[in-house]
Structures are given as C-alpha cells and as structure tokens.
Amino acid sequence: MKSFALLLLATVVSLSAMTGLAFAAEEGAAAPSGDSGSLKILGAGLAFGLAAFGAGIGLGYVGSAGLAVISENPALQSKVFIFVGMVESIAIYGIVMMFIILGQ
C-alpha cells in the first residue's frame, strides 16, 4: 500500500510539472498548430508503462502460484511456463502500441 501511495504521489508531481508556458508571438506569426509531438510521447509512455506495470503485477501472482505448483508436481512445469508467457505478452502488446503511437 505504501508503494502505491508513492507511485501515486510521483504521478501527481510529474503531471503537475507538465504545465504549458505562454510565449509572446510577433505580429503576423502563425500560431503553432498544437503540441502533438509531446502528446505522442506521453501517450506512448503511458501505453508501455501501464502495460508493463500490469504485467509485473500479474507476473508476481502467476510466478508465485507457478512455483508452488512446480514444487508439488514438477511435471507441470511446461504448463506454468505457458501461463507466464501469456502474462508477459501483455507487456509485449504495450511495446507494440508504443511503436504504433510513435510511428504516426
């Protein structure tokens, strides 16, 4: 619970630091169309970060249960590795989404 509170605090602090700055523009200068480059990076980081965070939590549960199963019946080791691979695929999906977002 304490680590979740620290994670939440770090998220709030980092989001509060992303405030925009206003700059004066010369007359006749075109206004920028938007700051989509930084939003892409933010979206890509969130896609990968949240996927990796979820995969880490899932891997903790699956890994501990898998070790318990293997200690009781070593013949089930291959099935445990399949479940671990399924959980790890969530992080791979996050990486793929990150590259898709950055490629646009």
Its sign, for the CA torsion 78, 81, 82, 83, is positive
Q: Output 11 or 61, whichever has higher pLDDT.
A: 61
Residue 16 domain-assigned (yes or no): no
Residue 9 domain-assigned (yes or no): no
The pair of structure tokens assigned to 65 is: 């249960």
pLDDT surpassing 70 at residue 76: yes
Residue 102 domain-assigned (yes or no): yes
CA distances from 21 to 17, 32, 51 (A): 11, 13, 31
Q: Output 68 or 23, whichever has higher pLDDT.
A: 68
Distance, CA of 5 to chain centre? 18
Q: What proportion of the chain, given as a percentage, has pLDDT over 90?
A: 60
pLDDT surpassing 90 at residue 16: no
Residues 2, 27: Cα–Cα separation, whole Å: 52
Domain tally for the chain?
1
What is the domain range of residue 82?
A: 52-104
Residue 93 domain-assigned (yes or no): yes
